[in-house]
Structure 1
Amino acid sequence: MSKRYRLATEADADELLSLTLRAYEPIRKLGINFAAATADKELVLNNIQKNACYVLEEDGRIVATISLRMPWGPNPGPYGVPHIWWFAVDPETGKKGTGSDMLEWLENTVLRDTLKAPFVSLGTADKHPWLIGMYERKGYVRAGEKDLGKGHITIYLKKQLHD
């Protein structure tokens, strides 16, 4: 099996939209208001054009995506460092570590080694039953919270990448 990480292009929009809607189906069922959960092609294209949207391909098929909102971009995170956003793994790949591999690649290769970011942030909903715990097990710590008017409290987490 061949694996390749790369930046998404506009040509990937339809495949990314399909993957995202399948991956975020449980979020919609929970009633959590994440932008990616109800994405359309315009939002996917906007993400590709304005953020660093990465994909993981296996044998030429996109199986995961993760995006970084940059501090200088139109929608920066809260701490002046890259902010992880729009993380989705194709549910058809099963639970074989694809998401963990993608996240570790982003943290180490992109954020720590290339961008030299001291830490990274992300946000998730307080109402989500397992995401906060999953990120904490991966070394993230709670850093704050905010009501963004989405029907839940956004819990911000940070992970130190450099001393």
Structure 2
Amino acid sequence: MTGLVPQVAGAADVDDLVALIESAYRGDASRAGWTTEADLLDGQRTDADMVAEMMALPGSVVLLLRDEAGAALATVNLRDLAGGTVYFGSFAVSPRGQGRGVGSALMDAAEAFARDRFAAERMRMTVIDQRAELIAFYERRGYVRTGEREPFPYGDVRFGEPRTDDLEFVVLVKEFDPQAV
């Protein structure tokens, strides 16, 4: 990665965030990258109202990484769940930034931000169980499966239209080394 630094996103960034998240996960454009969910879900991944709601949640911060030209390149939502746990979600890297270290660099920055801002001791995330390659990426980054599962929000088209009836989320957690600063 080129040393770009993520910034805290604001209301003016909502449309760019929606376009970025959609490009990473849904539709034909997402097939250019490896994070696509297009084989599992049709429809949208998010919309402007959902992004605005996410940004407005107490303890929620959206980080946005833009490239040298100012285009949205990667994003992640961090939400303080209390007790030293921060939720890591809505992680998206533009297909044009995938495979270049952008995602890993943003994860590093997000984890540091969570430790500094929220005194995080651990990160928690959910991933669709069928996303084996994505889960393997997170496991290489130190996240482990907890054994917990959460239901997919079937019937809520705001999260997409499932192509199968067996989707569910697995929970992954990364514990931070208390000696690391």
Structure 1 length as normaliser, TM-score? 0.83
Q: Which residue of 2 aligns with 1:6?
A: 7
Q: What is the CA-CA distance between 1:44 and the residue it aligns to?
A: 1.6
Q: What is the CA-CA distance between 1:104 and the residue it aligns to?
A: 0.7
Q: Which residue of 2 aligns with 1:123?
A: 126
What do the CA deviations read for 1:67-119 (whole angstroms, capped 9, x no partner)? 012226xxxxxx861110100011122421101100011112x1223322111
Q: Which residue of 1 aligns with 2:95?
A: 91
- Map 1:1-163 → 2, pairs under 5 A: 3-25=4-26, 26=30, 27-32=36-41, 37-50=44-57, 51-59=60-68, 60-71=70-81, 81-108=85-112, 110-150=113-153, 151-163=166-178
In structure 2, relative to structure 1, the CA distance for the partners of 1:44 and 1:114 (3 Å cut) is closer
What do the CA deviations read for 1:16-52 (whole angstroms, capped 9, x no partner)? 111111111254422258x9x5211111211222221
Q: CA RMSD in A?
A: 2.3
Distance in 1 of aligned mates of 2:76 and 2:120 = 17
Gapped regions of structure 2 (runs ≥ 5): 31-35, 154-165
In structure 2, relative to structure 1, the CA distance for the partners of 1:123 and 1:149 (3 Å cut) is closer
Q: Secondary structure at the match of 1:30?
A: coil
Gapped regions of structure 1 (runs ≥ 5): 73-78
Letter in 2 for 1:160: E
Q: Which residue of 1 aligns with 2:157?
A: none
Structure 2 length as normaliser, TM-score? 0.75
Higher RCO (C-alpha 8 Å, min separation 6)? 2
Q: How many residues align?
A: 154
Query: Which structure shows the bigger proportion of residues in helix conformation?
Result: 1
